[in-house]
Amino acid sequence: TQLLEQSPQFLSIQEGENLTVYCNSSSVFSSLQWYRQEPGEGPVLLVTVVTGGEVKKLKRLTFQFGDARKDSSLHITAAQPGDTGLYLCAGYNAGNNRKLIWGLGTSLAVNP
């Protein structure tokens, strides 16, 4: 059972476009993390959100944690080719804080 559903699975856009990636669950998470992974490399943390309704910004990336702490979104403004990669959400389930639950990821390609 995949506790974290990410959508879309694949996304191919032109440079300059905006996009949103979603991470949804029916379970409550004590925190959610977003990672970016480049081909052949390990994921690297972008941000952690902890409080329901929290919004964090990282340059052109905006992360939001749902009020009920069951979902999160990542919005990229004016995407650039350097944003290309696999975006993964992961979270610590409120019922089991020992294990990081992973989504399957959104593969983003930004074309020049």
Contact footprint for other proteins (CB under 8 A): 30-31, 33, 35, 40-45, 48, 88, 90, 92, 97-100, 102-105
Nearest to other proteins of 80, 97 (CB atom): 97
Regarding beta strands 71-76 and 85-93, do their DSSP bridges make them parallel or antiparallel, or are they unpaired? unpaired
Q: Note whether 72 and 49 are within 8 A (CB).
A: yes
Smallest gap from Cβ 89 to other proteins, in A, equals 11
Tell me the three state secondary structure of residue 83.
helix
Beta bridge partners, 87, equal: 36, 106
Smallest gap from Cβ 112 to other proteins, in A, equals 26
Nearest to other proteins of 17, 41 (CB atom): 41
Q: Please report the sign of the dihedral spanned by the C-alpha atoms of residue 7, residue 27, residue 2, residue 88.
A: positive
CB atoms near residue 94 (< 10 Å): 13
Nearest to other proteins of 48, 62 (CB atom): 48
Smallest gap from Cβ 95 to other proteins, in A, equals 13
Smallest gap from Cβ 17 to other proteins, in A, equals 26
